[in-house]
A = this chain, B = another copy of it.
Amino acid sequence: MTRCDLRVGMIGLGALGFPIAANLRRADVLMRVHTRRRNRSLQGTIACATPADAAKGVDVLVVCVSDNAAVEAVLFGADGASHQLTAGSVVVDCSTIAPATAIACAQRLAQRGVHYLDAPVTGGTEGAKAGSLTVLVGGDPAALERARPVLEIIGGSIHHFGAVGRGQQVKAVNQVLVAGSYAAVAEAMALGQRLELPMDAVVTALQGGAAGSWALSHRANSMLKSSYPLGFRMSLHQKDLGIALDAAGDVNLDLPVTQLVADLENGLMEQGHGDEDVSALHRYYHTKS
């Protein structure tokens, strides 16, 4: 890792934000942190009471919060970061939000000379801990180059897809892929279990072929045990599918499989399973008969 002289602030210490912040701290660039979670802080950084406070004097502000409203609040609320960010600084927004929200945030910050990159990630909590996240970036290339040393601490690969909003659109594509492939594994495991097949051997036989997927290789076993350790929280995936389905609707595109998986997830969340891993989709086939 190249040495990084940027001063970094961070907003959000959730399931992704905390390990990201810890890596930035370890690289000696993270100065100031704000989180809504009153019981969380990160040793070696200044705990800030407001987003504005976390943005004081930083070159790069990393934001990792839960949704559109949270991003807008921490940037533009009464104590929002935008009140302290200075011209030339860069907001790196790792939250997964609507592409249109990302574009609106970028426009508002541009009025103050502040750059905004949408930089949603894939790779989950494990990837965040390992610093191996895939970062999906939209925004000005010069701003990306300025923030790149920070992104390289966060992620193992940094992909630039064009203007602001493009990173979020690619994340939406990712979540559509996750939806169908996790659902396929859930249905296949449920069928094999109901038929009393030797499922460990079945997974081994099939994972090398056209039926193979990351979900089959990494989530089939937990489904077969009916235990769904995080991973990636279903409630967040369900929120992200909403973004993907809205993006599709905006271009008049019908995604029936994704819509169906979103409906299945909604049903499971109503039954209280939203805090489990996405692989808990498999529950649907046990509770129904």
Say yes or no: is A1 at the interface (Cβ < 8 Å to chain B).
no
A215 adjacent to B210 (CB under 8 Å): yes
Say yes or no: is A174 at the interface (Cβ < 8 Å to chain B).
yes
A181 to B217, CA, bound (A): 13
B134 adjacent to A255 (CB under 8 Å): no
Closest-CB distance, A273 to chain B (whole angstroms): 17
Most buried by B among A157, A188, A202: A188
Within 8 A of B (CB), among A148-184: 157, 159, 161-162, 166, 169-170, 172-181, 183-184
Say yes or no: is A272 at the interface (Cβ < 8 Å to chain B).
no
B contact residues around A191 at 8 Å (CB):
172-173, 176, 244, 247-248, 253, 255
A123 to B209, CA, bound (A): 6
A205 adjacent to B253 (CB under 8 Å): no
B contact residues around A170 at 8 Å (CB):
192, 197, 202, 205-206
A92 to B40, CA, bound (A): 63
B169 adjacent to A176 (CB under 8 Å): no
Say yes or no: is A212 at the interface (Cβ < 8 Å to chain B).
yes
Contact of A157 among B122, B161, B205, B213 (CB under 8 A): B205
Closest-CB distance, A215 to chain B (whole angstroms): 7
B contact residues around A216 at 8 Å (CB):
177
Say yes or no: is A124 at the interface (Cβ < 8 Å to chain B).
yes
B contact residues around A69 at 8 Å (CB):
none
